[in-house]
Amino acid sequence: MLLCCCVLLALTAGPCSTAPTLNPDAVSPAPAPVHLQLATKYLQQFYQLQEEPSGRTKRSGPSFASKVKDMQLFFGLNATGALDPETLEVMTRPRCGVADVEEYSHVQGTRWHKSVISYSIGSYTRDLPRDTVASVIESALSVWARASGLTFVRSQTRNADIMVEFVTNSHGDMYPFDGPRGTLAHAFGPGSGVGGDTHFDDDEQWTAGDKGFNLLLVAAHEFGHALGLKHSTNPQSLMYPTYKSTRSANLLSREDVANINALYNPARGRPSYFVRYGWSPWLSGPLFPQRMHNRCAADLSFDAMSTLGDATFFFRDKYLWIKHNEQHDIKEGPIINFMPKIKSSIDAAFWVPRRSTAYLIHGSIFWTVRGSLMRGKPRPLSHFGFPAWVQDVDAAVHMVKTGRTLFFIRDIYWSFNENRRVMDFGYPKYISEDFPGVNTTINAAFHKDGFIYFFVGPQVYKYDYSQKHVVGVETANSWLGC
């Protein structure tokens, strides 16, 4: 399977010839048919939009809109399904010729079943001296060697695991390059034959500095593919599909390090569950030493907790514990390590099983996590029908049997009808009146096996919702196995 570098030249790149392109500055005044032509070919090539028998794709068709949404979600745009200027601008960016969602949304790919991997440079660019190219290629591979423990050995034969070539246009692999300032490079995943081979478009201007395309940055990205990694939706990741001319001295993000170790050194990596969800892991080893929170502390409390897929997430300040329902170990670390888009704490969270959707609330906004992706941008609480004066939520819990989500705010609570998507009439009501025995502000709430668990500081009240009374008291840390 071909894995390409989807590379955007942030400052100097022009349109990519692999798809109809427009100057981003000219997107708005261009006629609508040009927009439609651009989007149709883009979606057919990268998001498997099916062509109509007549050879035309209707913009009004549900398939077209759904594919636009897929593309918007991948790039973190507002998922409206409409061809707004921001979406069209992304569609004009230089990129690779491989589908995004199907290719890059699942578990990381195949791997080399050995720790010593050979490479060879079959042809060179005209832009740099040969010894410079060799040095840069060695440096790009060493980026992954340091993180994974793999060893790369240069070979002088054409039978190496990773064959590096600088080529132009059609070059024998069914994935032709497109000339200057378009698709920059691509690489094949591990395997026999062309597996691991990495090709650079020699119509680009390759440099070892800031001008043109920095070969080290592109090569390091491509070698990630050659080792089996797929693209990341995290802009901080080296495996993010767009090119950035400047990066920190450490090219790899925590996510990159964990993903390469998940393939080649599982003890230091993370399980496929976290790869599937596209979230950076918590690494407690020497690579990223940070202070762990004592989950068995007597005064431990949670700000929010929720099911997400087949795991339970516990939030405290900007920290997170993840307890997989089928495993005994607990992953933990700063929230941003797992969810790069969230830089704040989480005040409340709830899960709606029939939608396979979780809602994470902070202040007056919330994020939506559906399936394995964080969907679009954060939205205001007013989406649920709250009046303007409601600017935060203490706790939330979804009741599957009634189809209601309960929002707790200080001494009152609201009931949201998930079927009709409106607040129920007659709310808010006092918590103490409808939940006897719960007479204080609730920090977090969770529904399990017919009971609501109210987290109040380090204590947890087990509440029988049908009988309307507290039937037991636990400690919060007991939920983390303490």
127 annotated ligand-binding residue: yes
396 annotated as a binding-site residue: yes
**Which residues, including other chains, have CB under 8 Å from residue 434's CB and lie 6 or more apart?**
413, 468
Report the 10 Å Cβ neighbour count for 416: 21
Catalytic annotation, pick one of 51, 52, 138, 222? 222
> Cα–Cα distances in Å, from 322 out to 12, 58, 105, 443, 455?
42, 44, 21, 18, 17
CB atoms within 10 A of CB 152: 20
Q: Is 134 annotated as a binding residue?
A: no
- Residue 208 labelled as part of a binding site: no
Residue 231 marked ligand-binding: yes
The residue type at 64? F
Q: Which amino acid is at 49?
A: L
Question: To 5 degrees, how large is the angle CA 245–CA 259–CA 246?
Answer: 10
Examine the residue annotation and report whether 89 is marked as an active-site residue of this protein: no
Distance CA 264, CA 285 (A): 16
Please indicate if the annotation marks 293 as binding a ligand: no
35 carries a ligand binding annotation: no
The answer to whether 81 is a known ligand-binding residue is: no
Around 20, how many Cα atoms within 13 Å sit in the side-chain half-sphere?
15
HEC letters along 18-59 = CCCCCCHHHCCCCCHHHHHHHHHHHHHHHCCCCCCCCCCCCC
Q: Is 349 annotated as a binding residue?
A: yes
Asked if residues 457 and 469 have their Cβ atoms less than 8 Å apart, the reply is no
**β partners of residue 352:** 357
- Picking from 233, 226, 227, the residue whose alpha carbon sits closest to that of residue 265 is 227
195 is in an annotated binding site: yes
The verdict on whether residue 256 carries a ligand-binding annotation is no
Q: Is 178 annotated as a binding residue?
A: yes
Distance, CA of 107 to chain centre: 12
Does the annotation flag 171 for ligand binding?
A: yes
204 is in an annotated binding site: yes
Detail the residues annotated as belonging to a binding site for Zn(2+): 96, 171, 173, 186, 199, 221, 225, 231, 239
Detail the residues annotated as belonging to a binding site: 96, 127, 161, 171, 173, 178-179, 186, 195, 197, 199, 201-202, 204, 221, 225, 231, 239, 303, 347, 349, 396
Detail the residues annotated as belonging to a binding site for Ca(2+): 127, 161, 178-179, 195, 197, 201-202, 204, 303, 347, 349, 396
Task: Give catalytic residues, as residue numbers.
Answer: 222
